[in-house]
Amino acid sequence: MPLLELEKPSSRQTMRGTMKALVFRSAGQFQLEEKPIPQAGPGEAVVKVRLTTICGTDIHIVRGEYPVKPGLTIGHEAAGVVHELGAGVTGYQIGQRVLVGAITPCGQCESCLGGHTSQCGGPIGGWRLGNTADGVQAEYFRVPFAQANLAPIPDSLADEDVILLADIASTGFGAAESGKIRLGDTVAVFAQGPIGLCATLGARLMGASEIFAVDPDPGRLKMSTEFGATLTLDGNQDPVRKIMETTNGRGVDVAIEALGQQVTFENALSVLAAGGILSSVGVYSGHLSVPLEAIHAGLGDQTIVTTLCPGGKERMRRLMRLVETKRINLRPLLTHTFDLENIREAYKLFESREGVLKVAIRVS
Ligand SMILES: [Zn+2]
Ligand SMILES: [Zn+2]
């Protein structure tokens, strides 16, 4: 646009206008603020947000338990429309509806080309939005490495159909995939929050014969049967003993840990058969210890594998195909909807965990 190019940077900023964004200031201090609408540099895009959601990780951020820079816009799950395309981003149109994964890999570095796109540029490096770069709980956000990360949403799907693929479904399925579940395997999933529920669904998709879902919350256990659990177990009622009894002392082929606590990690390891895989997606803090009897003094041939949410547009495309072909339906997880204006209330509700799984935030 030649007219814009003639403007001085300051007046150009004014012309671009401002937007509302949820900004982290310090532990417990976060609010909607006015910020300049971001601009797309080379290889970048700006997306106008239509729908976003709140993640458990965002709760850690606003409490100050996960460190981010003050002034950062929070959030990493968004569906929206292309607002601006930077130089070199091709094959997209302004106004096109897109899903952007929580993880935005460059697609070109050693880690990406080695198949570990979540670890782009270094450990956890693929997680930029709402972590090391401004996030998506805003009217607009900038997409780094746009060519690798703008996934067009098929017309047949609503924003609500795909929003949870950006993070929790990709993460939960990733846990099942990292567990290398084989047809007929017996699987236990510890914790049935949104990610654990998606891990349960992933285990079903991958052909597990039995899926034991463990959680103290009866509502979540009920949902887990809809997502594929064949047996539900109260997390407070000695689930290890029950699983060992049910499997005649053999244990499970794959145990998935989806909470990030010592007790669930230990339980997952304790029900793991010799030669089995413990697939861990929980986020831990402090120290994690390993009960030696559970790994047969170190001689049990078991594997422990960890997974960060896989991202990038090709991952998003394939997950959207699962929704399009009606192999999965994640909408039951969206239990509440709020407007961006009321996002603080949404945080309060989500944090309370009372009758809520995921909240949708409607932005435009
Ligand atoms: Zn998340
Ligand atoms: Zn990379």
Averages of pLDDT over runs of 10 residues in the chain (364 residues) are 45 71 97 98 98 96 95 98 98 98 97 96 97 98 98 98 98 98 98 97 98 97 98 98 98 97 97 98 91 93 97 97 98 97 97 93 98
Distance, in Å, from the CA atom of 271 to the CA atom of 212, rounded to the nearest integer, reads: 11
Q: How many other C-beta atoms lie within 10 A of the C-beta of residue 154?
A: 13
Cα 167 to middle of ligand 1, angstroms: 5
Q: What sign has the CA pseudo-torsion 320, 123, 253, 272?
A: negative
Question: Closest-lying ligand to the alpha carbon of 126?
Answer: 2
Span from the CA of 145 to the centroid of ligand 1 (angstroms): 19
In the block, residue with structure tokens 């997409």: 143
210 neighbors 235 (Cβ within 8 angstroms): no
76 and 102 in contact (C-beta within 8 Å)? yes
Ligand 1 center–CA 76 separation, angstroms: 6
| Ligand positioned closest to the Cα atom of 149 | 2
Task: Yes or no: say if 190 and 294 are a contact pair by the CB < 8 Å rule.
Answer: no
Helices assigned H by DSSP within 179-284? 194-205, 218-226, 239-246, 262-270
* Smallest-distance ligand from the CA of 108: 2
Q: Which ligand sits closest to the CA of 105?
A: 2
DSSP letter (8 states) at residue 37: P
* 56: Cβ contacts below 8 Å, ≥ 6 apart: 193, 194, 195
Contacts of 118 (CB under 8 A, 6+ apart): 103, 105, 124, 126, 127, 307, 308, 309, 310, 311
Can you give the pLDDT at residue 11?
Answer: 40
In angstroms, what is the span from residue 109 Cα to ligand 2's centroid?
4
Q: Which ligand is nearest to the CA of 76?
A: 1
**pTM for the whole structure:** 0.94
Cβ atoms within 10 Å, residue 36 = 13
What the block records as the tokens of 347 is 């945080």
pLDDT of residue 353: 87
Contact 357, 222 (CB under 8 A): no
pLDDT at 15: 67
Instruction: Annotate 212-224 with b (16+ C-beta within 10 A) or e (fewer).
Output: bbbbebeebbebb
Instruction: Answer yes or no: are the C-beta atoms of 121 and 106 closer than 8 Å.
Output: yes
Calculate how far, in angstroms, residue 302's C-alpha sits from the geometric centre of ligand 2.
30
- Which of the ligands is closest to the CA of residue 171? 1
Ligand 1 centroid, distance to 6 Cα (angstroms): 41
pLDDT at position 48, please?
Answer: 98
